[in-house]
Structure 1
């Protein structure tokens, strides 16, 4: 090939009424959303990108990326400077506090995007799937050198537009492959749109090995435009006040009886049967399940060595989870708290319903310690998950 990126972009103006901005305004006019200047401004930026990628169909470059020496060189291999990479539309990196409407806006963009190959995925799920596919490639190609190019080829073949919800990096195993994987995706013309609570320059902050992660941050900054959603209203918390019967606190005899009644109402029986959840190379068991509803204790799900893939598999299989005995969270049970955060992310992504007994309300469940602020997003989601609007959403499996 001649080193250029070929593709097609629609230059004609969009027909009136198409795109995320008209869709947003229609929802406001219908009374489904409150007017919010910050959200409308973000929708305008998304509309600009929507116009730029209408009909986008890149023809990726052939050939592997340049090699580097050493372990870190291979894991975080630097790509050519941004200006030497093939031209492709810059994506958007949407940053804002919890509950400001980032995911809603990205959904409007994704649903209206006129790109034949597109995918919207939770970032946890994307990374879990990437690790799984790398593992399979290494097992099937024991003499192979580099699984990243074929992985990037496969992803780019299915999606010229990737929309990531909740872009965040906490795991060193994720950080180790991100630079090379995203460099390969951008080289293949993939456009990325992401929502996050964290600006790119703060990703993986304070973690060991972050210096080697900096080239990935520079790559994200070069390949996406940063957009801050400055809305001061937390809509999740507002909606969360509308219904509280799915979160029972304090965790006493009344809460236990309420969960028994909830399981009975959801399943038509007092008790379920153990259910095994299978994944490539591993499995785990939910103590009680029946008719798409699971029931487990907090320690059974968050005290065990389970990770994002396990929780995503759980949320995909069951449309409702009855969770007993969520304790107060803090530095003394930090590992369990982190797993609980990951569990709630998975449930929320699949619109899984949650009925729980807990020691406190979500906004006072994790009040002290350096990670209390990190829990604010989870508390906001827990409050939204009690709302009538959330409970009316269909399960995504």
Structure 2
């Protein structure tokens, strides 16, 4: 018997591809809180890069947003800007946008919700539009991480939803990771975001946050790929220790992700401590690539390390993708793949 077959015969390794979870609207609402690594995020423990003053300026503006000044006759002109019900964090990946968004959520009084764009659109899909309005209407603050422009239909649903919530007193804070490639410097442009939600643009103050990717400051620039024998040995060692590890063929995992809505990825990886992947290869289909980005985001949120063999994970996107309109999404995912495979998850990220 070949060594790899012998190892597999010793242990039945669970697979993520065997997991087809369901998720209800109520479960989604219950999960609308910051992910674990931002459980204690605050303005105080945000670590700004002092080479980029806009990072500290963003902290000051967000503190003002969560603690608006009382209105007064002599402050009307100033209050007109400061009392805008929406604030939008515009900047590169890894500069602390998600940390700041979570810090804002923690500092605000409830009811309040924090979730990704995908989670909110999934909530509409699960409950229906009107029921979603009823669930969220009492919120004092809605935080939306990774506002997407990938799907115009979803974007307009969210525009309408936020418009109704703002009209009843809800305040909104958002970040985005979807930059059109033509805008230069790999950054998302606030004006394109505002054009997509033109009916609400006057409600948002835009904060530009410049800086370097925090993960690139702390980890090497390459995802770790291990030899198949080393991966198999590690998986079996972990199983012997009682660790909750899964192992999947990369192609099979990609096909499975295509059958599961991204809002359910969080349940696909639930209770997993280590993810092993074999046979990583170059992706040439953009739909698959975007699914992988969404999956890696959830793995990163859950702080689950990845052990992979084959092509280094951060090299799975082909040249056409890396030169296309979703370039920044892929770059951000590459950065997270490096952190996940090197075991160096930083305390301050997006």
Cα separation, 1, equivalents of 2:319 and 2:93:
19
Matched, 1:92 2:87: yes
TM-score under structure 1 length normalisation: 0.62
More helix by share: 2
Structure showing greater Rg: 1
Q: Residue 126 in 1 paired to residue 126 in 2?
A: no
- The answer to whether the aligner puts 1:380 opposite 2:335 as a matched pair is yes
Aligned residue number for residue 182 of structure 2 = none
Q: Aligned runs of 1:241-390 on 2, under 5 Å?
A: 241=220, 247-249=223-225, 255-268=227-240, 292-304=244-256, 305-306=258-259, 307-329=261-283, 332-360=284-312, 362=314, 364-372=315-323, 373-374=327-328, 375-390=330-345
Unaligned runs of 5+ in 2: 1-40, 71-81, 178-187
CA 255–248 in structure 1, closer or farther in 2 if over 3 Å, else same: farther
**Alignment: residue pair count:** 280
C-alpha contact (below 8 Å) 2:116/2:145 kept by paired residues:
yes
Q: 1:88 to 1:219 in 2, by over 3 A?
A: farther
- C-alpha contact 1:20 1:112 (8 A) present in aligned 2: yes
| Larger RCO (alpha carbons 8 Å, 6+ apart) | 2
Q: Does the 8 Å contact 2:163/2:200 carry over to 1?
A: no
Structure 1 runs of 4+ with >4 Å offset: none
CA RMSD of aligned residues (A): 3.1
Tell me, yes or no, if the aligned pair for 1:161 and 1:190 is still in contact at 8 Å.
yes
Residue 64 of structure 2: aligned partner: 48
Q: Deviations over 1:248-277 (max 9, x none)?
A: 43xxxx6212222332243327xxxxxxxx
Alpha-carbon offset, residue 96 of structure 1: 0.9
Residue of structure 1 in register with 2:133 after alignment: 152
Q: Residue deviations 1:87-126, cap 9 Å, x none?
A: 974221101111111112222222222x121122122222
Question: 2:143 maps to what in 1?
Answer: 163
What per-residue deviation string (whole Å, max 9, x for no partner) do you get for residues 174-201 of structure 1? 2352232222211222111111133354
Measured against aligned partners, the alpha-carbon deviations of 1:318-338 in whole angstroms (never above 9, x if no partner) come to 243212222123xx3323222
Of 188, 194, 198 in structure 1, the residue corresponding to residue 168 of structure 2 is 188
